Amino acid sequence: MQLNSISVIGGGAWGTALAQALALGGNSVVLWAREPEIVEDINKRHVNRVYLPGVDLDHRIRATADLKEAAAANAILAVVPAQHMRVVMATMARHLADGVPVIVCAKGIERESGKLMGEVVAEAAPRAQLAILTGPSFAADVARGLPSALTFACRNETLGRALAAALSSRQMRLYWSSDVLGAELGGAVKNVLAIAAGIVEGRGLGTSAHAAIVTRGFAELRRFGEAMGARSETLLGLSGLGDLILTCGSTQSRNMSLGRALGEGRALQDILGARSAVTEGVYTSAALVRLAREKHVEMPIAEAVHSIIEGRISVDDAIADLMQRPLKEED
């Protein structure tokens, strides 16, 4: 499949990194950003100093603040923060041609509706063909051309395989999957669990506790995913276990680093106020817990994170509650 034009919607770290990866693969890319200073920085200096400092961007990336201009492409990567995805895509949908692939690259659950990003885009831009790009990847690594392997989920196998091949490069390898739901769930849930892993590190609870929280967190992810209808092999793959391991294992993750700051005793609003980028797990946690309760799925770690974020319980009390839960079989 030949992609003559590609647009990336979202000028944050991940959107800029994806634009860079596509440009390094030989594509000309239009990058939409809402901030005029980001557009100017990319077009005049070939950098994004706000969201991706220290990376020289390929000259084949051209930035714009015009959604109509960005919509005139034969493939769209939607990298808008989860809680803003609906508004941006509904605005863009007026300018999209019928059948244009829209590839969702944001990870999260819409707080008000409880819907995943694929569902949000399908409602906001119903004439588009939906796909999901997700998996273990840090923006800084991808932008620098370091190797990565991701999941490319699309229910239409012919389209999915063709797009995965067209977007893959020497630096970025894409594996096609038909399990759109499973691919999205891993990316959304791991953000909340990464906050828990960060809290463990910030509180100085040790590597044994870190291993325990990641493993039991994955058990929660699998229970929730299977209750929602995801395939277990998807949850065990790049978009599930792979993304969880990466995000819980490094403070390059905004969610993990936020959790560490909480564990160190800093106030949530102070942490968020010092950041320019969105920390998705903070906003996804409420929707995740609500959905889990509706599905009668036990997710005590996710519940604890949500309670800490809402200010209903202290970090120490949340840890004590988890450790004092009734003993049971691991499975």
Nearest to 153 by CA among 164, 167, 145, 140: 164
Nearest to 149 by CA among 161, 140, 136, 162: 136
Is 190 one of the catalytic residues? yes
Q: ∠ at Cα 110 (107, 112), nearest 5°? A: 165
Q: Which tokens is 139 given?
A: 């923006």
Distance CA 293, CA 53 (A): 40
Q: Are 14 and 239 in contact (CB under 8 A)?
A: no
Pairing of strands 129-134, 6-9: unpaired
Nearest to 79 by CA among 97, 69, 95, 92: 92
Query: Which residues are CB-neighbours of 265 under 8 A, at least 6 positions away?
Result: 315
Selecting among 44, 107, 115, 190, the annotated active-site residue is 190
Return the number of other C-beta atoms located less than 10 Å from residue 120's C-beta.
25
Task: Give the catalytic positions in this structure.
Answer: 190
